[in-house]
Amino acid sequence: MNENDMTGLAHDGFEPEDLDGHTLDELSAYLDSGRTPVNPSIEQSPGCRIALESLERLQRLSGELLASDTAAEEPADDGWVQGILANIARDARAGRRIPLSTELDRADLGITEGAVRGMIRGAEDAVPGVLVGRTRIDGDVTVPGEPVRIRVDASIAYGRPIPATAEKLRSEIHRRLSAQTTMNVEAIDIAVRDVQRLSEGAEQRG
């Protein structure tokens, strides 16, 4: 037992005298660099090679640690999730105010950008096999009649024809926006970001 060692560990073989003058820190850096360029002084030292092997083993284990720890954690329960949702500001994403044109002179009607995004997401309810992702509304929507362009990310179920499904989504969004807003929608671009495989749960539901 090395009495200078406050952690109470026995002499460990990783001191510079065991490593032909090299340090463990130096060996870690050498390992991080992929052992290139080759350092002959390290590679030819038996002490260093033993230490490198130990460091490599530790590195492999370190890479697995988080996944193993994560698997050992309990899944998040509903109370936990609700507790977080109760603490986030739901109105923080209102965005710009979009005016709604009206025949009535004195009426000043408007809708938030956030509400329009919700309306666009809602189109997925009417198109089987689609999830809407991020929605962008380009153009000055705060000025009535200004042309705007809608860009929508989407995910489509595996097996659904992508062009036809995207087209259905496009026309459903157009229908909803025309019915519920007075925006001058110049174009609706759909970008299919991924194809979603059926989950086991969905398969069981048929």
Partner 1 sequence: MTYRNSEVRVDDASDEILLGRAVDGDTGSFAVLVRRYTPMMRAYARRILSGSADVDDVVQDAFISAWQQLHKVQDPKHLKSWLMRITSRKALDRVRSARPQQDLDDVNPPAPVHHDPVRRAEAHAGLEALDRALAQLPDAQRRTWVLREVGGYSYEEISDELGIPTSTVRGLLARARKDIITRMEQWR
Site residues for partner 1, 124-143, by CB under 8 A, read 124-125, 128-135
| Interface of this chain with partner 1, residues 61 to 120, rule: CB under 8 A | 61-62, 64-66, 68-76, 80-81, 83-85, 87-90, 92-94, 114, 117-118
Using CA atoms, how far apart are residues 148 and 50, in angstroms rounded to an integer? 66
| Interface of this chain with partner 1, residues 186 to 205, rule: CB under 8 A | 193-194, 196-199, 201-202, 205
Asked whether the beta carbons of 188 and 152 are under 8 A apart, the reply is yes
CB of 105: closest distance to partner 1 in angstroms?
Answer: 32
Q: How many residues bind partner 1 (CB under 8 A)?
A: 72
| Interface of this chain with partner 1, residues 161 to 180, rule: CB under 8 A | none
Choice between 99 and 137, CB closer to partner 1:
137
Choice between 51 and 99, CB closer to partner 1:
51
Using CA atoms, how far apart are residues 50 and 91, in angstroms rounded to an integer? 59
Choice between 59 and 101, CB closer to partner 1:
59
Asked whether the beta carbons of 12 and 6 are under 8 A apart, the reply is no
Using CA atoms, how far apart are residues 7 and 12, in angstroms rounded to an integer? 12
CB of 53: closest distance to partner 1 in angstroms?
Answer: 10
* Strands lying side by side in the sheet with 184-196: 130-138, 147-157, 184-196
| Interface of this chain with partner 1, residues 5 to 64, rule: CB under 8 A | 6-7, 9-10, 12, 14, 23-25, 28, 51, 54-55, 57-59, 61-62, 64
Residues in the chain: 206
Using CA atoms, how far apart are residues 50 and 100, in angstroms rounded to an integer? 74
CB of 157: closest distance to partner 1 in angstroms?
Answer: 4
Out of 35, 49, 96, 121, which residue is the one contacting partner 1 (CB under 8 A)?
Answer: 121
What is the helix (H) or strand (E) element at residue 187, kind and residue range? strand 184-196
Residue whose structure tokens are 């495989």: 197
Asked whether the beta carbons of 70 and 60 are under 8 A apart, the reply is no
